[in-house]
């Protein structure tokens, strides 16, 4: 029964858990007093993962924290890690599809200057001046941003479906973005090889899949949701800005938030609030056709809003799922790990 104490801790897998929003999802779960959680940090870099675990253990000395090494941008690595996960856990209660990249070719200063005058709020909460490289592919031939932000997670869900179904009620929680837009998605180029915005396209695909999976998985008591963190000063964008710009942007974000820009959640802890709400609210209070967003009041207190995804189209969603299944089957045929 939802909310009742469980005999064993709930098992929560979090991709991209060594920093930013993924790290603070782990923190929030370990801090949660009603249910115990075993958090599994799914990271691509072992050193970063064990540093994250050490930091969490300082705060939660009796925390149950495991590590799984996975590069979600590599199909091979995802297959391998799923095999390991299935050996280690006979049940998964929460799967946070959170790891993500925002590749950036350069910062367009002309757009920064123009937007600073015409749309200063947009400059803060959109990523327009960060020009994305177009046509980048992984060594396995997939669109780079699509592979990491979408497909690796899709494979995890498909490979782990039975262990997700072994929970009384499991949840898949995707970290999407408020900048995900239908306009940036091209059904005939769903991996966004041709641009112009692989990141926004990948996040739109995320939203569509997150909703569409419900019609397939709810009968097995697996429930899928999409969230966004607002605008958070994490490595994903700030790595592209350099130290001085990073500090400047943070100062501007705090100023913007004090003036009422509610999207400026700024910290990972704030940004992960929507993920936490979706992980812990009784399922009957949640709407699978909505995206759950983290927002901040001018003085910094945080809240979660449920937002309708108005352009969701069931036929388009099913087409997309079919394409992902076809792609997955191609890889399954040639995979070396017997999964």
Ligand X SMILES: NC(=O)c1ccc[n+]([C@@H]2O[C@H](COP(=O)([O-])OP(=O)(O)OC[C@H]3O[C@@H](n4cnc5c(N)ncnc54)[C@H](OP(=O)(O)O)[C@@H]3O)[C@@H](O)[C@H]2O)c1
- When asked if residue 63 is in the footprint of ligand X (CB under 6 A), the reply is no
- When asked if residue 45 is in the footprint of ligand X (CB under 6 A), the reply is yes
Pick the closer one to ligand X by CB: 46 or 194. 46
String marking each residue 234-273 x if it binds ligand X according to CB under 6 A: xxxx------------------------------------
Catalytic residue among 185, 190, 199, 295: 199
**Quick check: is 204 catalytic?**
no
Query: What is the residue whose two structure tokens read 């020009």?
Result: 131
Pick the closer one to ligand X by CB: 167 or 206. 206
- When asked if residue 19 is in the footprint of ligand X (CB under 6 A), the reply is yes
Burial 243-274 (b: 16+ CB within 10 A, else e): eeebeebeebbeebbeeebbbbbbbbbbbbbb
Task: Give pairs for 126-130: CB < 8 Å, separation 24+.
Answer: 126/179, 127/102, 127/179, 127/199, 127/237, 130/102, 130/104, 130/237, 130/240
CB of 1 to ligand X, least distance (A): 32
Structure-token pair, residue 298: 């001018």
Q: How far is CA 200 from the centre of its chain?
A: 13
- When asked if residue 55 is in the footprint of ligand X (CB under 6 A), the reply is no
CB of 122 to ligand X, least distance (A): 14
Residue closest to 263 by CA, chosen among 280, 312, 184, 273: 273
- The CA-based angle 222-81-280, given to 5 degrees, is 35
- When asked if residue 153 is in the footprint of ligand X (CB under 6 A), the reply is no
String marking each residue 200-239 x if it binds ligand X according to CB under 6 A: ----------------------------xx-xx-xxxx--
Q: Kindly state the number of chain residues that form the binding site for ligand X, as judged by CB under 6 A.
A: 31
CB of 177 to ligand X, least distance (A): 4
Among 31, 35, 36, 48, binds ligand X (CB under 6 A): 48
- Three-class SS of residue 239? coil
Among 28, 44, 171, 291, binds ligand X (CB under 6 A): 44
Among 10, 13, 14, 20, binds ligand X (CB under 6 A): 20
Distance CA 148, CA 99 (A): 7
CB of 18 to ligand X, least distance (A): 4
Among 14, 94, 101, 217, binds ligand X (CB under 6 A): 101
- Three-class SS of residue 294? strand
Structure-token pair, residue 73: 């941008």
Pick the closer one to ligand X by CB: 163 or 231. 231
Distance CA 325, CA 208 (A): 15
* E strand map for 24-177: 37-43, 64-69, 94-97, 106-107, 130-131, 170-175
Structure-token pair, residue 309: 């995804």
φ, ψ for residue 251 (rounded to 5)? -60, -40
Pick the closer one to ligand X by CB: 253 or 327. 253
- When asked if residue 177 is in the footprint of ligand X (CB under 6 A), the reply is yes
- When asked if residue 291 is in the footprint of ligand X (CB under 6 A), the reply is no
Residue closest to 155 by CA, chosen among 70, 226, 90: 70
- When asked if residue 14 is in the footprint of ligand X (CB under 6 A), the reply is no
- When asked if residue 73 is in the footprint of ligand X (CB under 6 A), the reply is yes
Q: Catalytic amino acids? A: 199
Binding site for ligand X (CB under 6 A): 15-16, 18-22, 43-45, 48, 70-73, 98-101, 148-149, 175, 177, 228-229, 231-232, 234-237
């Amino acid at each position: 029964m939802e909310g009742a104490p469980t005999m064993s801790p709930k098992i929560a897998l979090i991709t991209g858990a060594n920093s930013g929003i993924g790290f603070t999802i782990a923190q929030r779960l370990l801090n949660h007093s009603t249910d115990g959680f075993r958090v599994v940090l799914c990271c691509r870099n072992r050193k970063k993962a064990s540093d994250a675990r050490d930091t969490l253990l300082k705060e939660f000395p009796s925390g149950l924290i495991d590590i799984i090494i996975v590069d979600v941008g590599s199909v091979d690595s995802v297959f391998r890690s799923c095999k390991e996960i299935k050996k280690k856990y006979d049940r998964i209660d929460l799967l946070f599809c959170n790891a993500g990249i925002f590749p950036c070719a350069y910062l367009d200063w002309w757009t920064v200057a123009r937007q600073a005058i015409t749309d200063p709020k947009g400059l803060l909460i959109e990523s327009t001046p960060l020009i994305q490289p177009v046509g980048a592919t992984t060594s396995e031939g997939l669109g780079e941003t699509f592979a990491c932000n979408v497909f690796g997670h899709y494979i995890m869900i498909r490979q782990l479906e039975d262990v997700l179904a072994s929970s009384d009620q499991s949840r898949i929680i995707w970290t999407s973005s408020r900048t995900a837009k239908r306009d940036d998605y091209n059904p005939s180029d769903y991996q966004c090889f041709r641009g112009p915005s692989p990141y926004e396209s990948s996040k739109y695909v995320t939203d569509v899949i997150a909703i569409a999976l419900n019609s397939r998985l709810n009968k097995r008591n697996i429930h899928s949701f999409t969230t966004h963190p607002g605008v958070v000063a994490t490595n994903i964008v700030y790595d592209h800005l350099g130290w001085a710009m990073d500090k400047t942007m943070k100062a501007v974000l705090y100023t913007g938030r004090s003036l009422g820009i509610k999207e400026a959640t700024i910290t990972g802890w704030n940004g992960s609030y929507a993920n936490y709400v979706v992980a812990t609210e009784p399922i009957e209070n949640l709407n699978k056709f909505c995206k759950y967003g983290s927002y901040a009041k001018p003085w910094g207190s945080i809240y979660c809003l449920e937002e309708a995804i108005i352009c969701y189209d069931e036929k388009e969603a099913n087409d997309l799922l079919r394409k992902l299944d076809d792609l997955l089957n191609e890889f399954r045929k040639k995979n070396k790990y017997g999964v």
